[in-house]
């Protein structure tokens, strides 16, 4: 659907127009590429991936399906908590399905931003329903973070009229 | 100044009204409390502060003036990099003045969000000019993060008209 902008008068406040406009922007429009490691990856190698990709969270998959997420905070906790990060697989320290908050590509970015705030996470895996060898789950197709939200906030606040 | 909302017609697009509205919101209106440690604090104790306060960045002060910042990423790098986090003071691993991006309370949140994106940081110390024992510098009066920006984005997108 076309974002509602223009010069018409309908009794709505301008903030209502803004809300209508924002609701048309979908997770799919602003999502970033996902950063994914296998469940068997060591904590150390997952941290290296985190730094190389310069992200705050990595998704953990098994046979192509999402099984967990690990944040920078989780990694820091392991690193100072006496975990042997060179031996322990990331699967041991991750937050595990079904306790993962996800976003769907067709969701509005407002819904995604609300989930980020409500569940106090830095980012959400963007997922699609999938089935592998008869097992139903999620395929990871992107991620949406506070960085994406902050960027769109800056874009809306500074760019020329759309 | 009063935010510009209303039902008037002036040839501006609704997004322009949004931009005018956003520009009136200042860092001072949405900033969080600062989390501050002394330069002599060990890296380990600073990490404990980070977890206790549940923030992504701590400010480092010396004699009441800002001398550095340390992010979760910096801490993780030290923790896996063979630094003796129980002995080394946080002053050794921090990003040091004048290489710190700050925000002033009277800045618009759009300016602050732009700095966060441009300099790829998670948060900015909110500071005021100060002088201690003849030394000029910054007093830390708050912090503004991607979380604050994401919250205001959700507020603007979901709340009833203002």
How far is residue A84's CA from residue A80's CA, in Å, rounded to a whole number? Answer: 10
- Is the pLDDT at A8 greater than 60, yes or no? no
Return d(Cα A45, Cα A89) in angstroms, integer.
Answer: 9
Q: Is B16 on the interface with A (CB under 8 A)?
A: yes
**In chain B, what percentage of residues exceed pLDDT 70?**
89
pLDDT of B140 above 90: yes
Residues 6 or more apart whose CB falls under 8 angstroms from that of B27 comprise: B103, B104, B105, B106, B107, B108, B109, B112, B126, B142, B144
Count Cβ atoms within 10 A of the Cβ of residue B39 and give its class: 0-12 exposed, 13-18 middle, 19 or more buried: middle
Residue A43 vs residue B82, higher pLDDT:
A43
Domains of chain A by range and CATH? 30-158 (3.10.580.10)
Give the ipTM: 0.88
Which residues in A lie closer than 8 A to residue B23 (C-beta atoms)?
A: 157
Compute the residue count for chain A. Answer: 162
pLDDT category at B23 given cuts 50, 70, 90 is confident
pLDDT tens digits, one per residue of B44-70 = 999 999 999 999 999 999 999 999 999
CA–CA separation, A75 and A92 (whole Å)? 11
Q: What is the pLDDT of residue B121?
A: 95
User: In this predicted model, what pLDDT tens digit does every residue of A88-99 receive, in sequence order?
Assistant: 999 999 999 999
Using a CB-CB distance cutoff of 8 angstroms, which residues of chain A are in contact with residue B13? 5-7, 161-162
pLDDT at residue A162 greater than cutoff 50: no
Preferred mutation among B157, B158, B159 to probe A, highest tally of A CBs within 10 A: B157
pLDDT at A12: 58
Residues 84 through 103 of chain B touching chain A, CB cutoff 8 Å: 85
Determine the average pLDDT of the residues in B134-141. 97
B138 to chain A, closest Cα gap in Å: 26
Residues of A in contact with B71 (CB under 8 A): none
Q: Identify the band that residue B149 occupies on the pLDDT scale cut at 50, 70 and 90.
A: very high
């Amino acid at each position: 659907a076309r974002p509602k902008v223009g010069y018409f008068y309908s009794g709505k406040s301008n903030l209502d127009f803004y809300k209508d406009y924002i609701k048309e922007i979908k997770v799919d429009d602003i999502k970033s590429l996902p950063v994914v490691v296998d469940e068997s990856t060591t904590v150390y190698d997952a941290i290296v991936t985190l730094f190389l990709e310069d992200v705050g969270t990595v998704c953990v998959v098994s046979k192509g399906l999402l099984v967990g997420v690990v944040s920078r905070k989780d990694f820091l906790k392991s690193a100072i908590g006496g975990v042997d990060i060179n031996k322990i697989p990331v699967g041991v320290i991750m937050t595990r399905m079904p306790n993962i908050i996800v976003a769907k590509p067709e969701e509005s970015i407002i819904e995604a931003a609300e989930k980020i705030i409500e569940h106090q996470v830095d980012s959400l895996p963007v997922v699609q329903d999938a089935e592998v060898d008869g097992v139903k789950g999620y395929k990871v197709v992107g991620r949406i973070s506070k960085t994406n939200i902050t960027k769109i906030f800056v874009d809306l606040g500074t760019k020329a009229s759309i």
